[in-house]
Every structure is written in C-alpha cells, then in structure tokens.
C-alpha cells in the first residue's frame, strides 16, 4: 500500500501532532473479497489509526489510494440479506423529523446505496426522482430490477450531477469508508437545493458500546479510513457551510441472529449461540439496540451564496 501521510481530513491539522489510536494490524492472509462487503462478520483488522487533537477525528494517516479503494469496493462481494432492509427501516424512522419539516421532497440522492433499499423507502415517502451511487457491482446485481434503474455504478463523483438539484442527500455508514469525507460533504452542500438536507449515519467511537468493545468493536475495520465522534462529524458539517446541524444517537433494529454474528464472542461460542437461537425459534426475533451510531442532519441555508 502507498505510504503517503495525510493531515486530518476534517480540519487539516497535520498528522505529526496526532496521537496513536490503534496500531496497524492487517493480516494480508486473512484478507478476502468479503473484507470490503457491508455487514460482514467482523475481522477486527485496521489501518494505523491516529486521533486528531483539534477536531477529535480518528483517521488512517497512511490510507490506501483512491484507486486501491475503488478496486477493493468494485471487487467486493455483497451480503444481500434482510439486514439491509432492517437498517433502512431504522434510518427512515430516525429521519422522520427531518422529512416532516422539509418543504420539498422531490429528488433524493444516496451515496453508497447498496441494493437501493433506502431509495425504495424514499419512493414510498413521496420522492419522485431517486438516484443511488454504488461502487460494488455485486450489490447492484442483487437489487431488484426497478431499483437497478435508480443506481449508478461507480465511486461518487460530484460532476455527474447538476448543482442544486437535490432536496435530500443521504450517506449512511459510508463516511468512514471514503478517502476524503470533506469532499463528500462539500459536494453534498453544492448539490443540495437551498433548504435541502444532508444526512449521514456514522459510528460514534466515543459511544459506550465502542469503548467497551475496544479492539473487538466492529468499528475496528480495514474499510474505515476515519472514525467520527459527535464532535468531529458536527465540525465537518459546519466546515462545509451546512446549518441547523443536529447530531443524535439512534437505535438499530436487527434480528437476534445478526446481533450474535456481530458480537465479539469467540467463533465457537458464536456458532453455538446461533444454533441455540435457531433451536429456540428466536433466530428471526428483532431487537432494537443503541449500538453507538449517530445520525447527523445539516440544512443548506436558503440564502446560501
């Protein structure tokens, strides 16, 4: 991998003043095409992560290049399970207050759309023009045909879209994965109509769950180029000119099977727990848990230049 040090991708503070958060622990022999899939079984591998003293962001100071990332996501396998549906339902619920106060609900863009399941929900909520961007060909192939028509294959590129042409831009569980989160946030600002909303879902590395799990937290992931706290995600939104910024924790709802798969239990115990859930008929039972994810909403001011 290319060893070029980078400054903090949110506030620009030099990497030399950052403190070590986690040492690199990538085992090349364990890397698989599933390493870049969403909702995989955690592998607990990560790039060297440092913490910015200015804005609180944790970031890989020697991330792979844009090309390397693009290739990894293009080749990634996709797990097209019910978890994507569960996640989208939880996001829609958490977004309700934002959707309620939006004056226009005509066009929506989702960056990192997967199989486009959130777009389906947004369509039901009244959005007429739906566009998703997704780098994984396998994810798009797993989408129903009518959704495939909404999805563009590739990495997100601002120039593919008209400025001020969206009422809502969503980027869920993706801001950690991109090479430069500020590029995404400032592009979202330009692509929004005045009064439009940019909404992200990010892991909060300060949350109790993530602090308790430490090195065995699913946020410790080779895909993560940066990890946000509520302070650093707010700072990013402020920096690109978004206003009325709100950061709030929300609960994810998943099946007990999925929660068990995500858990830091050793492999053999996990297998036993999964078999037990199935035997008891509890494997499909849903459970809502606040696992330390935050939803952030920012509005493009109506009087923006």
Is 18 among the residues that bind Zn ion (CB under 5 A)? no
Instruction: Please say which residue, 50 or 171, places its beta carbon nearer to Zn ion.
Output: 50
Q: Quick check: 55 binds Zn ion (CB under 5 A)?
A: yes
Binding to Zn ion by residue 25, rule CB under 5 A?
no
Which residue, 51 or 257, is less far from Zn ion as judged by CB?
51
Which of 13, 106, 253, 290 contacts Zn ion by CB under 5 A? 13
- Binding part of the chain for Zn ion, among 13-21, 23-31, 42-50, 114-122 by CB under 5 A, reads 13-21
**8 near Zn ion, judged by CB under 5 A:** yes
The interface with Zn ion within residues 173-212 (CB under 5 A) comprises none
User: How far is CA 241 from each of CA 56, 126, 197, 238, 246, rounded to the nearest angstrom?
Assistant: 19, 27, 12, 5, 14
Q: Residue 82 class from Cβ within 10 Å (0-12 exposed, 13-18 middle, 19+ buried)?
A: middle
Cα–Cα dist 80/214, whole Å: 28
Among 49, 50, 52, 60, binds Zn ion (CB under 5 A): 52
Gap between the Cα atoms of 53 and 13, Å rounded: 8
- 40-58 burial, b if ≥16 CB within 10 A, otherwise e? bebbbbbbbbbbbeebbbb
CA distance 140 to 151: 7
Q: How far is the CB of 232 from Zn ion (least distance, A)?
A: 7
Q: How many residues bind Zn ion (CB under 5 A)?
A: 8
Range in contact with Zn ion (rule: CB under 5 A) among 6-14, 39-47, 105-113, 282-290: 6-14
Give the distance, in angstroms, between the CA of residue 83 and the centroid of all CA atoms in the same chain: 14
Supply the minimum distance, in Å, between the C-beta of residue 224 and Zn ion: 16
User: Partners of 60 in the beta sheet?
Assistant: 49
How many CB atoms sit inside 10 A of residue 160's CB? Answer: 11
Instruction: Examine residue 138 and tell whether it contacts Zn ion (CB under 5 A).
Output: no
Is 7 exposed, middle or buried (CB count within 10 Å of its CB: 0-12, 13-18, 19+)? Answer: middle
56-75: contacts with Zn ion (CB under 5 A): 57
Phi, psi of 162 (to 5 degrees): -75, 135
Q: Is 7 in the site for Zn ion (CB under 5 A)?
A: no
Q: Does 54 bind Zn ion (CB under 5 A)?
A: yes
- The answer to whether 11 contacts Zn ion (rule: CB under 5 A) is yes
Question: Should residue 239 be labelled a site residue for Zn ion when binding is judged by CB under 5 A?
Answer: no
SS3 at position 211: helix
In the complex, what is the shortest distance from the CB of residue 274 to Zn ion, in angstroms, rounded to a whole number?
Answer: 40
Taking the least distance from each CB to Zn ion, the nearer of 13 and 263 is 13
Stretch that binds Zn ion, among 19-27, 50-58, 214-222, 267-275 (CB under 5 A): 50-58
Q: Which is nearer to Zn ion, 8 or 219 (CB)?
A: 8
Name the CA radius of gyration of the chain, rounded: 19
Site residues (vs Zn ion, CB under 5 A)? 8, 10-11, 13, 52, 54-55, 57
């Amino acid at each position: 991998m290319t060893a070029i040090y980078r400054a903090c991708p949110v506030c620009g503070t030099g990497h030399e003043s950052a403190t070590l958060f986690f040492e690199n622990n990538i085992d090349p022999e364990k890397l698989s095409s599933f390493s870049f899939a969403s909702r995989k079984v955690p592998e607990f591998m990560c790039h060297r992560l440092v913490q910015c003293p200015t804005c609180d962001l944790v970031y890989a100071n020697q991330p792979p290049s844009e090309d390397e990332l693009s290739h990894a996501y293009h080749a990634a396998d996709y797990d097209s399970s019910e978890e994507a549906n569960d996640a989208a339902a939880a996001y829609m619920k958490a977004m309700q207050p934002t959707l309620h106060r939006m004056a226009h609900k005509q066009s929506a863009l989702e960056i990192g759309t997967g199989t486009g399941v959130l777009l389906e929900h947004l369509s039901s909520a009244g959005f007429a023009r739906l566009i998703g961007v997704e780098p994984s060909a396998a994810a798009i192939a797993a989408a129903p045909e009518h959704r495939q028509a909404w999805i563009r294959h590739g990495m997100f590129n601002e120039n593919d879209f008209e400025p001020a042409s969206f009422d809502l831009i969503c980027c869920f569980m993706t801001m950690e994965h991109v090479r430069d989160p500020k590029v995404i946030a400032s592009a979202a600002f330009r692509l929004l109509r005045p009064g439009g909303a940019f909404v992200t879902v990010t892991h909060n590395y300060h949350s109790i769950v993530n602090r308790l799990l430490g090195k065995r937290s699913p946020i410790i992931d080779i895909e993560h180029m940066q990890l946000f706290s509520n302070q650093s995600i707010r700072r990013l939104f402020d920096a690109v000119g978004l206003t009325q910024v709100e950061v709030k924790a929300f609960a994810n709802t998943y099946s007990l099977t999925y929660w068990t798969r995500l858990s830091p239990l050793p492999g053999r115990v996990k297998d036993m727990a999964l078999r037990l859930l199935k035997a008891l008929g509890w494997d499909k039972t849903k459970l809502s848990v606040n696992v330390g994810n935050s939803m952030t909403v920012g509005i493009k001011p109506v009087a923006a230049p």
